[in-house]
């Protein structure tokens, strides 16, 4: 990641930046800027997969929603929901 290279260059060449600042900068780059997948379950049975503050996939008793749009209950429904879950899972692996 380009910002990591910049931080490393600054720390290697200026000498003023302490290890504590390096640690904070590293945590900021990899934890603040990376997506944070979240799985939530409500008492009424809804399951929501979020990436940061964006709802990516939602499973409710009224249907499936991908990025806020309801998936049509047809022969492609299972495939669309499965693909949305795979995409969310890929984001989850990248965020770890």
Q: Are residues 27 and 8 in the same domain?
A: yes
pTM over 0.85: no
Q: Are residues 47 and 10 in the same domain?
A: no
Q: Are residues 86 and 48 in the same domain?
A: yes
Q: Report pLDDT for 17.
A: 46
Q: Are residues 47 and 66 in the same domain?
A: yes
Q: Are residues 46 and 70 in the same domain?
A: yes
Residues 33-64 pLDDT 10s: 555 658 888 888 899 988 877 889 999 999 99
Looking up tokens 């022969």 gives 75
| The pair of three-digit structure tokens given for residue 79, joined into one six-digit string | 């495939």
Range of the domain at 22: 2-32
Instruction: Please check the confidence at residue 31 and state whether its pLDDT lies above 60.
Output: no
The Cα–Cα gap between 18 and 86 comes to 41
The count of structural domains within the chain is 2
Q: Report pLDDT for 57.
A: 92
Higher pLDDT, 25 or 49: 49
Q: Are residues 58 and 84 in the same domain?
A: yes
Residues whose CB is less than 8 angstroms from the CB of residue 71 and which lie 6 or more positions away in sequence, other chains included: 63, 64, 65, 77, 80, 81
């Amino acid at each position: 990641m380009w910002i990591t290279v910049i931080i490393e260059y600054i720390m290697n060449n200026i000498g003023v930046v302490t290890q504590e600042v390096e640690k904070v900068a590293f945590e900021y780059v990899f934890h603040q800027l990376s997506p944070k997948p979240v799985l939530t379950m409500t008492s009424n049975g809804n399951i929501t997969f979020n990436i940061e503050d964006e709802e990516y996939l939602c499973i409710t008793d009224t249907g499936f929603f991908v990025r806020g749009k309801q998936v049509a209950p047809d022969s492609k429904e299972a495939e669309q929901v499965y693909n949305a879950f795979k995409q969310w899972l890929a984001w989850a692996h990248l965020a770890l």
